[in-house]
Structure 1
Amino acid sequence: MELRDRTCEILGDLIAFPTLSSDSNQALIAYAAGLLEDCGAKVDLTSSPCGTKANLFATLGPEVDGGILLSGHSDVVPVTDQDWSSDPFVMAERDGRLYGRGACDMKGFIAATLAMAPTYAAQVGARPLHFAFTYDEEIGCFGAQHLAADLQTRGLTPGVAIIGEPTEMRVIEGHKGCYEYSTHFHGLEGHGSAPDLGVNAVEYAVRYVAELLQLKQRLRGMAPAGSRFDPPWTTVNLGALQGGVAHNVIASKAKVDWEMRPVTASDADFVKTALRQLCENELLPEMRRTYPEADITLETIGEVAGLLPMEQNEARRIMAELTGANGADLVAFGTEAGIFQALGMDVVVCGPGSINQAHKADEYLALDQLDQCLTVLQRLKEHL
Structure 2
Amino acid sequence: MSSSRDLLEALVAFDTTSRESNLQLIEFVRDYLARFEVPCELIYNDERSKANLFATIGPADQPGIVLSGHTDVVPVDGQPWTVAPFKLTERDGKLYGRGSADMKGYIACVLALVPSLVKASLRLPVHIALSYDEEVGCLGVRSLLKALEQRPVKPMLCIIGEPTELKPVLGHKGKLAMRCDIHGEACHSAYAPLGVNAIEYAAELIGELGRIGHRLKAPEHHDTRFDPPFSTVQTGVISGGKALNIVPADCRFDFEIRALPSQDPGLVAQELQTYAEQQVLPRMRAVSDQSEIRFSELSAYPGLATDAHSEAAELIAAFSGSGEFGTVAFGTEGGLFDAAGIATVVCGPGSMDQGHKPDEFVSLEQLNGCDEMLQRMLLSISR
TM bucket normalised to smaller: over 0.9
CA RMSD of aligned residues (A): 1.7
Native 8 Å contact 1:313 1:347 kept in 2 = no
1:212 aligned residue: 209
Which secondary structure does the structure 2 equivalent of 1:193 belong to? helix
Residue type matched to 1:344 in 2? G
Which secondary structure does the structure 2 equivalent of 1:279 belong to? helix
1:28 and 2:25 matched = yes
Native 8 Å contact 1:60 1:124 kept in 2 = no
Cα distance between partner residues in 2 of 1:253 and 1:128: 55
Cα distance between partner residues in 2 of 1:292 and 1:380: 64
1:303 and 2:300 matched = yes
1:195 and 2:192 matched = yes
Matches within 5 A, 1:176-325: 176-221=173-218, 223-224=220-221, 227-264=224-261, 266-325=263-322
Deviations 1:294-340 (CA, angstroms, capped at 9, x unpaired): 22111211111111131443232112112221321111111111110
Native 8 Å contact 2:170 2:308 kept in 1 = no
State the number of aligned residues: 381
Residue type matched to 2:194 in 1? L
Q: 1:103 to 1:223 in 2, by over 3 A?
A: farther
Which secondary structure does the structure 1 equivalent of 2:235 belong to? strand
1:125 and 2:122 matched = yes
Q: Which stretch of structure 1 is more off in the superposition, 333-342 or 293-302?
A: 293-302
User: TM-score, normalised to structure 1's length?
Assistant: 0.94
2:54 aligned residue: 57
Cα distance between partner residues in 1 of 2:152 and 2:294: 36
Shift of 1:79: 1.0
1:359 aligned residue: 356
Q: Which stretch of structure 1 is more off in the superposition, 264-273 or 108-117?
A: 264-273
Q: Which stretch of structure 1 is more off in the superposition, 335-344 or 261-270?
A: 261-270
Cα distance between partner residues in 1 of 2:220 and 2:344: 24
Native 8 Å contact 2:67 2:128 kept in 1 = yes
2:341 aligned residue: 344
Native 8 Å contact 1:163 1:337 kept in 2 = yes
Deviations 1:109-138 (CA, angstroms, capped at 9, x unpaired): 101111111111222534111001110111
Native 8 Å contact 1:90 1:100 kept in 2 = yes
Native 8 Å contact 1:223 1:234 kept in 2 = no
Cα distance between partner residues in 1 of 2:50 and 2:169: 29
1:101 and 2:104 matched = no
Cα distance between partner residues in 1 of 2:15 and 2:145: 25
2:326 aligned residue: 329
Cα distance between partner residues in 2 of 1:308 and 1:213: 26
Q: Is there any run of 5+ residues in structure 1 with no aligned partner, and where?
A: none
2:10 aligned residue: 13
Cα distance between partner residues in 1 of 2:223 and 2:186: 50
1:165 and 2:162 matched = yes
Q: 1:94 to 1:64 in 2, by over 3 A?
A: same
Shift of 1:369: 0.6
